[in-house]
Amino acid sequence: MRSKSPKILIYSHDSFGLGHLRRCRAIAHSLVKTYDDLSVLILSGSPIIGSFEFRSRVDFVRIPGVIKLRDGEYTPLSLHLNIEHTLEIRSSIIEHTAKVFEPDIFIVDKEPLGLRGEVLGTLEALKNTKTKLVLGLRDVMDDPEILRQEWERKNVMPALRDLYDEIWVYGPQDMCNPVEGIKLPENVPDKIRYTGYLRRHMPENAENAPLPEPFGEQPYILVTPGGGGDGVELVDWVMRAYEARKRPLFPALIILGPFMPAAAVSQFTERAEHLRDVEILRFTPQIEPYLASARAIVGMGGYNTFCEILSFDKPTLMVPRIIPRREQAIRAACAEERGLLKVLPIDKYPDPVLMAEALAELPYSPSPSAAGIENLMLGLDLVGDRVGEILEENRAEQDRRQIVNF
pLDDT in tens, 322-352: 888 899 999 999 999 999 999 999 999 999 9
pLDDT reading at 368 higher than 70:
yes
In this predicted structure, the answer to whether residue 215 has a pLDDT above a threshold of 90 is no
**pLDDT confidence of residue 285:** 87
What pLDDT sits at residue 316? Answer: 98
What would the mean pLDDT of 61-74 be, rounded to a whole number?
Answer: 79
The pLDDT score that the predictor gives to residue 213 is 67
Question: How many domains does the chain fold into?
Answer: 2
pLDDT in tens, 46-60: 888 988 999 999 999
Q: What percent of the chain has pLDDT over 70?
A: 95
Distances (CA, A) of 116 to 81, 120, 145, 155, 219: 16, 9, 20, 11, 46
Q: What is the pLDDT of residue 139?
A: 97
Q: Does one domain contain both 318 and 218?
A: yes
Based on the domain organization, do 195 and 221 belong to the same domain?
no
- Taking residues 276-301, what's their average pLDDT? 93
**Does residue 49 lie within any of the structural domains?**
yes
- Residues 6+ positions from 333 with CB-CB distance below 8 Å: 343
C-alpha closest to that of 359 among 229, 245, 279: 245
Q: What is the pLDDT of residue 212?
A: 62
Domain that holds residue 361: 204-371
Q: Report the pLDDT value the prediction gives residue 48, as an integer from 0 to 100.
A: 87
User: Regarding beta strands 58-62 and 166-170, do their DSSP bridges make them parallel or antiparallel, or are they unpaired?
Assistant: unpaired
Residues sharing a CB contact under 8 Å with residue 59, sequence separation 6 or more, in sequence order? 39, 40, 41, 42
Assess if residue 2 is contained within a domain.
no
- In the structure, what pLDDT confidence band is assigned to residue 214 with cuts at 50, 70 and 90? confident
Instruction: Indicate whether 68 pLDDT > 80.
Output: no
Whether 295 and 224 map to the same domain: the answer is yes
pTM of the full structure: 0.94
In a domain, 1, yes or no: no
> Do 193 and 320 have their domain in common?
no
For residue 91, being part of any structural domain is answered with: yes
Question: What per-residue confidence (pLDDT) applies to 210?
Answer: 59
SS (H, E, C) the chain: CCCCCCEEEEEECCCCCCHHHHHHHHHHHHHHHHCCCCEEEEEECCCCHHHCCCCCCEEEEECCCEEECCCCCEEECCCCCCHHHHHHHHHHHHHHHHHHHCCCEEEEECCCCCHHHCCHHHHHHHCCCCCEEEEEEECCCCCHHHHHHHHHHHCCHHHHHHCCCEEEEECCCCCCCCCCCCCCCCCCHHHEEECCCCCCCCCHHHCCCCCCCCCCCCCCEEEECCCCCCCHHHHHHHHHHHHHCCCCCCCEEEECCCCCCHHHHHHHHHHHCCCCCEEEECCCCCCHHHHHHCCEEEECCCHHHHHHHHHHCCCEEECCCCCCCCHHHHHHHHHHHCCCCEECCHHHCCCHHHHHHHHHHHHHCCCHHHHCCCCCCCHHHHHHHHHHHHHHHHHHHHHHHHHHHC
Statement: residue 209 has pLDDT above 60: no
Which CATH number is 190's domain given? 3.40.50.2000
Question: In the predicted model, is pLDDT for residue 406 greater than 70?
Answer: no
Looking at residue 265, what is its pLDDT? 97
Q: Indicate if 18 and 154 belong to the same structural domain.
A: yes
Residue 335: what pLDDT?
97
Does residue 254 sit in the same domain as residue 399? no
Q: What is the pLDDT of residue 18?
A: 79
Q: Which residues pair with 129 in a beta bridge?
A: none
Q: Considering only 21-25, 120-124, 287-291, 399-403, which range has the smallest mean pLDDT? A: 399-403
Domain identity same for 187 and 288: no
Residue 194 inside a domain? The answer is: yes
> Higher confidence at residue 68 or residue 31?
31
Per-residue pLDDT tens for 122-172?
Answer: 999 999 999 999 999 999 999 999 999 999 999 999 999 999 999 999 999
Looking at every residue in the chain, the average pLDDT score rounds to: 92
Which pLDDT band, with edges at 50, 70 and 90, does 4 fall under?
confident
